[in-house]
Structure 1
Amino acid sequence: MDLQLAGRSAFISGSTQGIGYAVADALSAERVEVVVNGRDTTRVRHAVERLRAAHPGSEPRGIVADFADTDAVEQLLSTVGDVDILVNNVGLFGLAEFEQVTDDDWREYFEVNVMSAVRLSRHLLAPMLDRGWGRIIAVGSESGVNVPADMVHYGVTKAALIALGNGLAKRTRGTGVTVNTVLGGPTYSEGVATAIRSIAAERSVPVAAMRDAVIGQNQTTLLERFLEPEEIADVVLWLASPRASATNGAAVRADGGVLTAML
């Protein structure tokens, strides 16, 4: 199926690895001009090089910026230019007891997980509306719907991301612009894989066994395995395309059946 994306441009925040990189790779395969982003210059350069090698003829570029640094974000906004597809992917993730999460922790999570999307969308939505076409897609989480007790701070920011998308979509009425959120389930990203390898080493058990044990603690997953980043990226890719023009203001589930509600 032709997704009609060739020649479009995209910016993906937090895209040097994991879901963000998988999205950049999927878009590049559809001949989208992608801009990747990360906090580390070397990681950004390597991501750009990997995309060029995987997709000869593509012209990806990178912008280094830490979304916890407002000055760095302002610099990014001044250089990113107008893009057709914005993927708000960057985010902090971590387990912590509610009582142990400080005000500074809360501020950092909101700064990165929520305000990154606010600032990028505020900068790029109006030009999309002027051109009459555009896509804003947030990589959210099922934790924004079913907030975990050991990740309240994370779940609250992901709930805010869903609300942001719902509100912004109402501003696109009668245009070719859409705003949607993907509710990802437990995904075997680099961060999760690193944590599982560390635990497996501490307990002297095979990594695969530890991975299966961790996901096995989830009582509602229908897949009974971690999702791969590419599976989330495929949903983002669809929503980015003109083929998904009828989907707007939605929280689209790619959660592996973790959420038990019908809607």
Structure 2
Amino acid sequence: MLAFPTLASGVTRTATYLAAVLHALAREEALGRRPKRLLEPGHATWTRFRGRLRTPALVELLLEDAAVTQPCPFRVAEILGSDTSLRDVPAKVFDDWLAELPRASLDAPSAEYIAAQAKRLGLPTRMARADLHKIKPHQHVLELPGTGGQLAHHIVQTQRDIYLQDVFTIVVGTWQELTLAGLVAVECELRGAPPVIVDRELTKTRERRGELDYVIGMDPDKGGFFTKTTLEQAGWFPSATILLV
């Protein structure tokens, strides 16, 4: 896991995000899904064209390129806001990361990788995934805020013929959850905008009402934002089975 020294609070947020997406890009390269740039020996291509540019410029270019097909999580402004500058992170941190990436665990099993990213982002990972139901390809599932798409990822990875973009809507409430949901989409090899909604209080999501077969989320005893009783009494999803694990 990419580490960094103690930084100012605002910079720590940016550095945490950067560490997550850089790991994701390097994993994509290691798995053969993207051309090797971060993992290219000696960064030969970058060295030929960089001129006076330093490592942060390489990272910015790679994120811009990745954001063309996968805007979430790689479009920085979409995650952290348009006033965020990656250059707030010291250049030495970038240099250290690029040196560390080839030695990182980039081919870990998918479940292990997503759990590590969730922990990096400060999100809970302990959920009773075995209690989730078998989903059918034609059904529609809403994942509540708090988990950043971890439950959707588990179902896609463990059940046949279930695809993120066809079955799931992932609702998030924080930049950390939004980042992880984007990383889940990347891990599922989804191109384009992922099925993610920023809606912490479910004000937009409740309008879907009869469209959903399942509403899944984290048990409130483990940090979930909603209880099953609250959701049932509110009547927001009357036709859906509610599972909080």
| TM-score category of the 2 structures, normalised to the smaller one | under 0.3
**Larger Cα Rg: Structure 1 or Structure 2?**
2
| TM-score, normalization by structure 2 | 0.26
